[in-house]
Amino acid sequence: MNISELSILYPLAATFAVFLIYCYLYIQYHQRYIGLWAFSWALYLIRFVFLDTPLHAIAKVPLILYVFTVIWGSLIMLIGTSIFVGAPFKKVWYLGALITYLISVIFVLLDMPFCLTTLPVCLLLAFIYCKNGLLFIKSLDVHGLGKYITGVSFIILGLHLLDLPFLITVEWFAPWGFVIDSVFRFLVAVGTLIVYFEKTRNDLIIKEEYYRLLADNASDVIYRYKLSPNKGFEYISPSIYNLTGYRPEQFYQSKKLILSLIYPKDRPILKMFIRNPTYTDQLITLRLIKKDKSIIWIEQKSVPLQNSAGNCIGFDCIVRDITSRKNLELDVSRLDRLNAVGQMAASVAHEIRNPMTTVRGYIQYFASKNEFLSYKNQFGLMIEELDRTNLIIKEYLSLSQHRIIDLKLTCLNDIINALYPLIKADANAANKDVELSLTPTSDLYLDEKEIRQLILNLARNGLEAMDIGGILKISTSTESDGVVLAIQDNGPGIPHHILENIGKPFLTTKDTGTGLGLAICYRIANRHQAKIHVESSTEGTTFFIHFKQFDK
């Protein structure tokens, strides 16, 4: 086998091997630029069909086909490279390829000299190859030698094509020209593969950093928990510190830490989830006890991790703090109940009071008769009970949702100072005391009658909750968007089961209470777009009423 045959056989084998590699990559990853590269190498393979005859001795029709394959094969490779490096492909290349191909066809049909016939094609291919090389070197943001091997090989190929019209007819040089061409094409193919894997690796690193950045800075907690071979956290995002007060390292070190944070009544929910982690289609809702002992609500969405045998070996989870949403749901629920009571009050209260008025009038009438003087005490007791019933009905009417309030610019401190003698008298009667700590505040849009009722209800509740000698503190302060009224007692505190349902109608700890006082307070606060916040412990209870400051 002579050197001419070897100069064709070796490049053919190498080109075919590279073509198969590109086909394999395309089948695996379905990326467009790989498909274009594979197609361009397929066209490059086709040209070997014409090389049984020296290129300058090929007949007209095969030569036209040969020119077609090399032009459009190279152009398709440039398109693939542009997509790969993310550079725009200018349509002027299509126009240049078409004009060059038409000129070459005309020259072939006119039997022009071979060097003149192939010169336009070689010039176009030189530009295309050099452009490919520059794209790899300048536009590809990848570190490594691959892009330089590919880029330089493309440029050398482009320059080497410029000697083809003049040296292909030189018998001793032609085989070496094909060998040089094939070697650098092989380097282009190998370099392209290297660059592809370098870029893929670089993209994976960037994506990993991006996802890590998202996970580490997300407000939601993201974690992976392994059940086997060893139980424990494999990853937990730093936002766990904001959620619980504990850092990720503490969860890695202690497997039981997470269980200790779960609210005792909710631990069975977590245990059921761990035992059946595959049933994770629905969200699970739990309460957590933070490091500062405050309680928050969380919502968890999980995805099970399975091994090749289909067994669950862990799960990925996203945890979100839904405390605000739960509080909002609680407020909505409370208001719904108040609305129901208000509707009931509006519909039946007047119907009850009318016959009660008649009964009270007759009792007073009979009590004034001489023949009933011996029953005076009984009549008095009946009138007191009727008056008490009437007072309860008035409380019901206070909950009516259709009540119209009269808002006026009023100083909250003035209302408190006006009520102070009345509250002080109640406190003195029970051997208790009242302290005021009022900070100058801006005027608010208030219904004075309703705010007086709110303060009196909360103050009397506080006085009743304290033992003899207790001190009730009433204070005001300002915050960024409004005014805060605080009423604090030093009683034994509100039981937890009551605190969770505070504000519900008919909920009371008093033997003679109706359970409507706080419900009325929440209704008044709602009508003033204010929020009530309660803090309670064994050292006392404080009601905070947050009034918003609106533009005058």
**DSSP line for 504-525:** -TT--SSSS--S-HHHHHHHHH
pLDDT exceeds 90 at position 232: no
C-alpha span between 50 and 47 (Å, rounded): 6
Give the per-residue pLDDT at 474: 94
What is residue 309's three-state secondary structure?
Answer: coil
Measured CA to CA, the distance from residue 529 to residue 525 in angstroms comes to 6
Q: Which of 123-137, 179-193, 335-349, 385-399 has the highest mean pLDDT?
A: 123-137
Q: What is the pLDDT of residues 531-550, one digit of tens each?
A: 888 898 888 999 999 998 76
Q: Residue 90: phi, psi to the nearest 5?
A: -85, 135
When pLDDT is cut at 50, 70 and 90, the band that residue 513 belongs to is low
456-481 residue pLDDT tens: 889 988 998 898 989 999 999 988 88
Which pair of tokens denotes residue 389? 């019933």
Q: Which amino acid is at 17?
A: A
This prediction has a pTM of 0.46
Instruction: Give the H or E element holding residue 172.
Output: none
* Model pLDDT, residue 1: 45
- Between 324 and 82, name the one with better pLDDT: 82
Q: For the segment 121-171, what is each residue's pLDDT rounded down to a tens digit?
A: 889 999 998 998 999 888 887 777 888 888 898 898 888 888 777 776 666
Query: Residue 200 CB: number of other CB atoms within 10 A?
Result: 14
| pLDDT at residue 543, rounded to an integer | 93
Per-residue pLDDT for 188 more than 60?
yes
Mean pLDDT of 496-501: 70
Query: Strands, E, within 207-283: which ranges?
Result: 221-226, 232-236
pLDDT score of 183: 78
Q: Rounded CA gap, 402 and 412, in Å?
A: 25
- Which of 508, 521, 467 is closest to 489 using CA atoms? 467
Q: Which of 174-188, 234-248, 322-336, 508-522 has the lowest mean pLDDT?
A: 508-522
pLDDT of 489: 92
| Residue 320 to residue 200: CA distance in whole angstroms | 34
Q: Kind of pairing, strands 482-489 and 444-446?
A: unpaired
- Per 3-state DSSP, the chain is made up of helix, strand and coil in percentages (nearest 5) of 60, 15, 25
Q: Specify the higher pLDDT residue, 248 or 514.
A: 248
At 56 the pLDDT is 58
Interior/surface letters 212-238, b for 16+ CB within 10 angstroms, e for the rest: eeebeeeebbbbebebeeeeebeebbe
Separation between Cα atoms, residue 62 and residue 58, nearest integer Å: 7
- Name the amino acid, one letter, at 244: T
Q: Is 404 helix (H, G, I), strand (E, B) or coil?
A: coil
